[in-house]
Amino acid sequence: MKIGLFDSGVGGLNVLSEFINKYPNNIYYYYGDTKNVPYGEKDKEILLKLSIDIVKFFEEKQVDLIIIACGTISSTCYEELKKITKIPIIDIITPVINYLKEIEKDNILVFGTKRTIDSHIFKNNLSKNVIEIQTPEFVPMIENFQIDTKIIKNYLSNKDYNVLVLGCTHYPLLIPEFKKYLKEDTLIVDMGKVLVSNLNLTNDFKLEINLFFTKIDDNLLKNINNIIKHKYFLTEV
């Protein structure tokens, strides 16, 4: 099976890694729009144009499935993207909302980009206590390897929650930092893990990983090698 995944930068690589772990015998195409990262502050019209171009890229690659490995695009452009392609396309937020509906814990803290939080996609679809917080500093921290623990601690303090939803696919890279300030029984929800656990795909090719980024630099290479533990082909587009 040929699977295309995309995100604004390296965050979706966390999702790709989950796919490789569960389905190691497929062909993967990953598109990271590092030239335009972060997506979280951009207007919907810009996000839609960028994501339509990426969908067309995957159509040229003749993929069998497209994964929106981006919380921002999932929360703003998913419905429009489904209408412009015949390729099945899956967003990363819907499976997470369905998962949150089933768990017994009711106090949910969601970290996300400005665009995701402004959509209120979690609060509007859950009949639970949901606190949604914009965390615009997190993506630049990750992309540039500049972790500020004071900022992270401030976002986690003085709030009543027993579930932390990582509403951006970049954020799993900050889990070790998050855990320093979380109660032991806090459930951390990684959207990529939830998505992959809910899929039942074929697994019938030799593993091939093709990474396409709109801008490649040393920080990107560090992030790729930190996340992807298999041989890959890298191209700047």
Task: Say if residues 192 and 69 touch (Cβ distance below 8 Å).
Answer: yes
- Non-local (6+) Cβ contacts of 33 within 8 A are 6, 7, 8, 9, 39, 50, 54, 213, 214
Question: What dihedral do alpha carbons 95, 98, 102, 108 form, nearest 10°?
Answer: 90
Q: Which of 13, 69, 70, 216 is catalytic?
A: 70
Is-catalytic flag, 77?
no
Burial of residue 121 (number of CB atoms within 10 Å: 0-12, 13-18, 19+) = buried
Q: Which of 168, 195, 196, 209 is catalytic?
A: 168
Q: Which active-site residues does the annotation give?
A: 70, 168
